[in-house]
Amino acid sequence: MDQTANNAGGPLATIRVETGLSIIIPTYREAKNIPFILARINALRQEQNLVLEVLFMDDNSDDGSIEAIEQSGFDWARIIVRTENRGLSPAVIDGFRAARYPVLVCMDCDLSHPPEIIPQMMLALSSGQQFIIGSRYVPGGSTDDDWGIFRWLNSRVATLLARPLTSAKDPMSGFFALRKADFDKHDEYNPIGYKVGLEIITKCGFRNVGEVPIHFSDRIHGESKLSFKEQLKYIQHLRRLYIYKFGNAMHLLQFVVVGASGVVVNLATLALLLLMQLPEAVCLAGGIAVSVVTNFLLNRRFTFSYARHRNVWRQFAGFVGASSLGMAVNYSVALYLRASFLPETTTGLYLAALIGIASGTIFNFLGNRYIVFRKQYVRR
Ligand code: GDD
Ligand code: MN
């Protein structure tokens, strides 16, 4: 027997939802699945007396999806055919905006997600939780057996990476519910790829996330569109969400990682120049100079990428200017330590260089964050 039917049993029969519910289903070439998902939703609708609409957000599949919905004869189901800004996540965001009822549900079309637990999700919402996930990873949740080890591991690693954003067990799930009023409070949704739920949790700042166990079934018709390319997009998406949530701390983290690479560049250059038998003071200066260039390029590309379109030479001048105090600090600390109490060995020289770098770093970060790569706000 279908496990999910058990989930829907019991006290649910007593739930009355007068307010209504909008079910958003992103679709791409799902014509074959549409009659089945509509039949399941219709059964639930009648059984629970639900007021609802179903919006298929279709990226111009042109595969008979429109006809399949027309043939169903359900006046509460409609399809919106999109031709711009294609993709699963933007389709869901558009659907949520177009929805007319106060409770929003997102789910897949391929019958992986059991609509029968929706009343349970609504119950959880009405008990005060802000975001409810149909979850594979809470007790009672499961996936079909033929999930290969690769997909399982993949899913687990992806979930772990999202941990700093939410403590939910299955934030990757494409099955979730929330209030439209909460969704509408924000408008800066900008998801890349598949993880639209994670986007909404982060942008809305939801802390009160509930999870209802589901059995995630494998799709019967058609195939998954979750490709390797989608996984790379996930990393991009995560970086954006980290920046959104952690702001300056995330900039600082990237700045530190770039700085660490600069330390390696600095010391490698120092070693090279020493090999060329140049005077120590010149070698120390050379290490600093080369690493300033690589640090600049990496920070421009990653840490402060929001300012990447601006003139590179002016930014470089600014970077050097802002770093000059740090560099001066770096260089004089290194020279001073070298000349005074550090041992006159090569190790002593490297140690001097390292302590110099550390002293200069804090100056660099502050100058760059607040002067060179400051954010620009457009004034109207
Ligand atoms: N509009 C639109 N545009 N819909 C799309 C697109 C697109 O580019 N790509 C996929 N969809 C629709 C599919 O038609 C389906 O209804 C739903 O989005 C999920 O797509 P699948 O291709 O079936 O995804 P999946 O089964 O690999 O992934 C599911 O499980 C993941 C967790 O393991 C989804 O629910 C993911 O969101 C979820 O992260
Ligand atoms: Mn699927």
Locate 151 and state its tokens: 């997909």
Q: Answer with the residue of higher pLDDT: 137 or 380.
A: 137
Of all protein residues, whose CA lies closest to atom 19 belonging to ligand 1?
A: 108
CA 91 – ligand 1 centroid, Å = 11
Q: Is-contact 89 196, C-beta < 8 A?
A: yes
Locate 73 and state its tokens: 């004869």
Of all protein residues, whose CA lies closest to atom 26 belonging to ligand 1?
A: 224
Architecture of domain 3-246: Alpha-Beta Complex (3.90)
**pLDDT of res. 232:** 85
Confidence of residue 156 (pLDDT cuts 50, 70, 90): confident
Domain(s) of CATH 3.90.550.10: residues in the chain: 3-246
Of all protein residues, whose CA lies closest to atom 9 belonging to ligand 1?
A: 88
CA 233 – ligand 1 centroid, Å = 14
Residue of 36, 142, 175, 226 to test ligand 1 pocket, by largest number of atoms within 8 Å of CB: 226
**In this predicted model, what pLDDT tens digit does every residue of 200-245 receive, in sequence order?**
999 999 999 999 999 999 887 777 776 778 888 898 899 899 989 9
Ligand at shortest distance from the CA of 58:
1
Confidence of residue 379 (pLDDT cuts 50, 70, 90): low
Sheet-wide strand order for 52-58: 77-81, 52-58, 21-27, 103-106, 176-179, 131-135, 209-213
| Pocket flag, ligand 1, residue 225 (CB < 6 Å) | yes
**pLDDT of res. 1:** 32
pTM of the model: 0.74
Task: Judge whether residue 6 has pLDDT over 50.
Answer: no
**In this predicted model, what pLDDT tens digit does every residue of 41-87 receive, in sequence order?**
999 999 999 999 999 999 999 999 999 999 999 999 999 999 999 99
**pLDDT of res. 230:** 80
| Pocket flag, ligand 1, residue 26 (CB < 6 Å) | yes
